[in-house]
Structure 1
């Protein structure tokens, strides 16, 4: 048999982070309040609260300090260099640059922080991959106009983008306008992905939903993304922009045609719709019919449609943690997952948080994406959340994480051998972070252990996990040595 194709020589190896989950310093040097700053902690069984009025006497807000990347960025980037990263996925906190989101002039102190971060990355030989909007809507815009439900957010966001593009036109090449933009196809996306807070919403996992507002918000983000692409390329034609999709790969539980049709509809709605708009520049036929069937109406102008066609992205990036099954049988056993759950797949195991582990699904997904779009692909999130134990001698033995990542990297190489143009891999996450879904620290993903618990206790000291040294070897050998 012919030898498998290897990872390309210029392949991007790194890992990912997000400002709202790692930076902390929530009031430092003029930073405003973001939507993440008004979310309490929670657990797998107790949902996070959204508190419009911050009450630190009653609740713990994990993003306020997070893992304090703001004051540890030099140490953290040095550890990234030690692992051999040539790319680092990060995000810029909107409220660090525009505290309320609607100012005309930026906060220079906030920009100065990112100046230092980018300088540190450059010195380490690491390319920044910057997510412009990663669950960091200014809370003031929620109060002013219910977030992205209002078209005004497009111009506010473009002002933010213009400052970033002009300031960093010679520093950053790769940009992602919106993180997991397709989460707005679900009601859970209202808050984190659009800053929408409908009356009656108290808990993150049980939000009051208005589909008209939610899909209007998604449309506004599509338009904002397209305008950002056009604006960015006018400032620097070498800029590269990508979509970022929360890809929840789905299989029919059985060969019952009802299961197959339901799976097809779910895949189109959750996984394909947003990619079709951002890559192809058009609203697909099936979503138009979906809106008609469900009575969903919002404003789409001819100018909007023109801009969507003109502002398509250059690469496709996505998160992949798990897959789900779809069943027409309401009595089928269920599992949870990232954004949405589904029917339990009897051929897969699952994590403690009930996310099914499916490495082969990543190969399937990569082929599915590349067949549909034919543009370069990055896996920008992939990882295992687990309870890691710090030993008395400062070690973290996370063989389970190594095994998870190894299997997924093996499937990535098979996808490359299939012909997929896979250009990068930034697993979740660089260091341990605050979990978005639960607000926990114990659900750890990082290569770097951070000493902090669910209640905010700990000295924030960094420790290299076993997976740190394993991934270093993977990068050194360009994916050849996975043992």
Structure 2
């Protein structure tokens, strides 16, 4: 491997979180209930109304501690920070005529604090789980086209407000997770098992339309703003050299890229249209709506990269465990790759796969890319370092991130245009894939536990200082 540092001088080294993971303050300052407030985990298993026992309601109280936390982010050296605006802080039920000023003011204060510390905000307009519960339960979320208008109003409100503070916007988070968890990703409240294939494709179309309408609004407000929409990405490898396995991997990879095809090209790939024709799927879509999708495409590609998958032509294709429940959001195949290490959640660790995806996207789309999620989670406890300070000696996280960043460096050397990297995550919070605190992701340990105990005190892990050196040297420290 080359030892050349390819990172550009303006590379946006960063980290990430999302409102529902860490803000807490679920009933504070006029916030309304969101989808995540009735989903204690993320298996689309919900309660009727918000109930005690959901760690996300208080989370790690970033809402009330953001000033001290952003000071830590600055000490970490972040050049960028990806977060989301919590839709129900702005429109508590999604249908109000006027926005909630207290919610708007919070994000004014947060973005100002970030900018004052030299940190560029990267903002997801609505992260998964953040749709107003009212729109989910009374409109069936994005299964209903009426919800698009409520989303458009929300987009216009926050972009007009923050256009001079936020340059990089993301319309949605991991939209290709929608078929697996339609309630969590799209606010579709009807039971998943009752959603027909026709209905699911209509839901996806409605999200594509909402994305396009959001881009149209953002560009009308300020043409200089940059807009993307995140997906989950990771390559599929054939299980063997059998032609059937290779073809299966081709199909799996093609399907994984289908959402990005629509985001970039403004139209469905031909094979999707052929499939609709063969299955008699007729989308409720007007000429004007197709035109909106065609004319309002993304400026850059943003995606989560955690792992790769394996394609086996002879295997039953499903992503469920023995109880028929999906294992985790980003587990993309049941087949284990014998050439890769796996973490304690069964996720493959595949740094070269990141370089692969960066090149595939570059060759296919030719747009700048932003890695907005990538990281290492593990069950962790505080321990004392050599000086007697409480910390976490997370050499495994350092190893994983270093290997991925070295492959990212290689991809930039290949000619790929990469804007930045916001790893998942800046600090420990309530995990999206388990609804618990035990799955820890951050550079900062938060003394908060699944039994609701803990002081909420923040502690710097070993990886905190390591990442600080990486940023400070613009990646040069990776080669030492």
What's the TM-score once normalised by structure 1's chain length?
A: 0.93
Aligned to 1:67: 60
Instruction: Write the distance in 1 (CA, Å) between the matches of 2:76 and 2:156.
Output: 33
Residue aligning to 1:256:
242
Of 453-462 and 310-319, deviating more is 453-462
Question: Structure 2 regions of 5+ residues with no counterpart?
Answer: 322-326
The residue that corresponds to 1:212 in the other structure is 198
Partner secondary structure for residue 425 of structure 1: strand
Q: Does 1:454 align with 2:450?
A: yes
SS of residue matched to 1:423: strand
Equivalent residue for 1:407, pick from 403, 408, 411: 403
SS in 1 for 2:390: coil
| Residue aligning to 1:425 | 421
1:155 is matched with which residue: 145, 149, 153?
149
Structure 1 CA distance for aligned equivalents of residues 44 and 289 of structure 2: 35
Mapped contact 1:40–1:48 kept (Cα < 8 A): no
What is the rounded CA distance, in whole Å, between the counterparts of 1:347 and 1:259 in structure 2?
A: 17
Partners of 2:455 and 2:393 in 1: CA distance: 20
Flag the 1:357–1:313 CA change in 2: closer, same or farther, 3 A: same
Matched-pair contact (CA < 8 Å) for 1:333–1:344: no
Aligned equivalent of 1:232, options 218, 231, 236: 218
The partner residue of 1:53 within 40, 49, 52 is 49
2:354 corresponds to 1:362: yes
Q: What residue in structure 1 maps to residue 161 of structure 2?
A: 167
Of 320, 333, 340 in structure 1, the residue corresponding to residue 305 of structure 2 is 320
CA positional deviation for 1:348: 0.6
SS at match of 1:232: helix
- For 1:441 and 1:102, locate their aligned partners in 2 and report how far apart those are by CA, in whole Å: 33
The residue aligned with 1:115 is 108
Distance 1:348 1:295 in 2: 41
Counterpart for residue 21 of structure 2: 21
Structure 2 CA distance for aligned equivalents of residues 81 and 28 of structure 1: 26
Given the alignment, which residue of 174, 181, 184 partners 2:175? Answer: 181
Count of matched residue pairs? 467
| Partner residue, 1:204 | none
Q: 1: CA distance between counterparts of 2:234 and 2:81? A: 24
What per-residue deviation string (whole Å, max 9, x for no partner) do you get for residues 331-389 of structure 1?
89999651533311110110110001001111111101111100100110000110122
Could you tell me how far 1:295 is from its partner in structure 2? 4.3
Secondary structure at 1:313's aligned position in 2? coil
Q: Secondary structure at the match of 1:158?
A: helix
Q: Distance in 2 between matches of 1:332 and 1:280?
A: 28
- Structure 2 vs 1, CA of residues 406 and 424 (structure 1 numbering), >3 Å: closer, same or farther? same
Worse-matched range after superposition: 235-244 or 211-220: 211-220
| CA distance in 2 between partners of 1:154 and 1:452 (Å) | 37
CA deviations over 1:162-220 (Å, ceiling 9, x no partner)? 10111112111110001111212x3x230111011224x6xxxxx65433332212211
Deviation at 1:34, TM superposition (A): 0.2
Partner of 2:392: 396
- 2-side partners of 1:222 and 1:351: how far apart? 34
Cα distance in 1, alignment partners of residues 316 and 206 from structure 2? 38
Does the residue aligned with 2:459 lie in a helix, a strand or coil?
A: strand
Distance 2:210 2:51 in 1: 33
- Tell whether the 8 Å contact from 2:391 to 2:445 is kept in structure 1 after alignment: no
1:131 and 2:117 aligned: no
Q: Is the Cα contact below 8 Å between 1:174 and 1:240 reproduced in 2?
A: yes
| 1:440 corresponds to | 436
Separation of aligned partners in 2, 1:449 and 1:79: 12
Maintained 8 Å contact 1:90/1:128: yes
The DSSP-based 3-state class of the residue aligned with 2:372 is strand
Contact (CA 8 Å) 2:234, 2:354: kept in 1 or not?
no
Instruction: Identify which range, 24-33 or 189-198, moves more after superposition.
Output: 189-198
TM-score under structure 2 normalisation?
Answer: 0.93
**What is the rounded CA distance, in whole Å, between the counterparts of 1:36 and 1:6 in structure 2?**
40
SS of the equivalent of 1:427 reads strand
Per-residue deviation, 1:222:
1.1
- 2:80 alignment counterpart: 87
In 2, distance between residues paired with 1:189 and 1:305? 25
Q: RMSD value over aligned CA atoms?
A: 1.9
- Measure, in 2, the Cα distance between the counterparts of 1:108 and 1:238: 26
Return the alpha-carbon distance in structure 2 between the equivalents of residues 24 and 100 of structure 1.
18
State the alpha-carbon separation in 2 of the partners of residues 416 and 137 from structure 1. Answer: 36
The aligned residue for residue 267 of structure 1 is 253
**CA offsets per residue over residues 122-155 of structure 1, 9 Å max, x none?**
1101110000010101110111111000001111
What CA distance in whole angstroms lies between the structure 2 residues aligned with 1:149 and 1:291? 18
Deviating more after overlay: 210-219 vs 84-93? 210-219
Q: Give the direction of change, closer, same or farther, for the CA distance of 1:227–1:183 in structure 2 (3 Å limit).
A: same
- Cα deviation for residue 243 of structure 1 reads 2.2
2:459 counterpart residue number: 463
Task: Quote the Cα distance in structure 2 between the aligned partners of 1:41 and 1:257.
Answer: 39
Query: Counterparts of 2:315 and 2:2 in 1: how far apart (Å)?
Result: 46
Larger CA deviation: 401-410 vs 284-293: 284-293
